Every structure is written in C-alpha cells, then in structure tokens.
Amino acid sequence: MEAKKSFTELINSDTPTLVDFYADWCGPCKMMAPVIDQLANEMTGKVKVLKVDVDRNQKAATAYKIQGVPTFILFKKGKIVWQQAGGVPIHTLKNIIQQHS
C-alpha cells in the first residue's frame, strides 16, 4: 500500500494531476462526479485525479483562487498547465491531459 502523500507531493508529480475543486451542495459538481470517475478509470496511469471539497479545504481553495465550483486544475510538475470552471466534457478533459502527458 502506498504511503499517504501530501497535496504538494501529488501535484509536483511528473504524471499530470487533475484536481476537481467541488462542494457537496453543488449541482454541477454532482453532475461531473461520474465523468471524473470515468476519466480516472479510463486514464489510469496517465493522470492522477484528486477531489478537493472547497468547504472542508478552504486554504487550498483560497490558495488557487477558486471562485466557483466545480473548478478543474491540471498540474504538471507543480505548475498549473490548464484551469477551467464549470462542467467539462470527458473528451475535452482527455485531450487536455494527453497534451500534457
């Protein structure tokens, strides 16, 4: 079993890391949840997927200036390579991840 890694360790990875900033009360977040789960399953080994609840992790939300949920940020080696608020189709997410793999 892999040791628990910190948020910073995960986003500093050579493997792209998609962070889904969401909230439990957010309707669009609930609609995106199965899309993100499918993406994680289909792209195992090509992307790491993290879900961050903005209500429970306000420091992270503030640090990345999250103003609306859902907001998706793709990190590669600790740098933001893509960011978008709102729903995103799975094919768009796959294309963006492949561009940064």
Any idea which residue has 């939300």 for tokens? 61
Token pair, residue 24, equals 């439990």
Q: Is cis: bond before 70, omega within 30 of 0?
A: yes
* Angle (deg, nearest 10), helices 90-99 and 27-42: 50
Q: Is 39 a catalytic residue?
A: no
Assess contact for 15 and 47: CB atoms under 8 A. yes
| Catalytic residue of the set 11, 19, 23, 29 | 29
| 66 catalytic residue (yes or no) | no
Both tokens of residue 28?
Answer: 């669009």
Q: Which of 18, 19, 23, 26 is catalytic?
A: 26
Which of the residues are catalytic? Answer: 26, 29
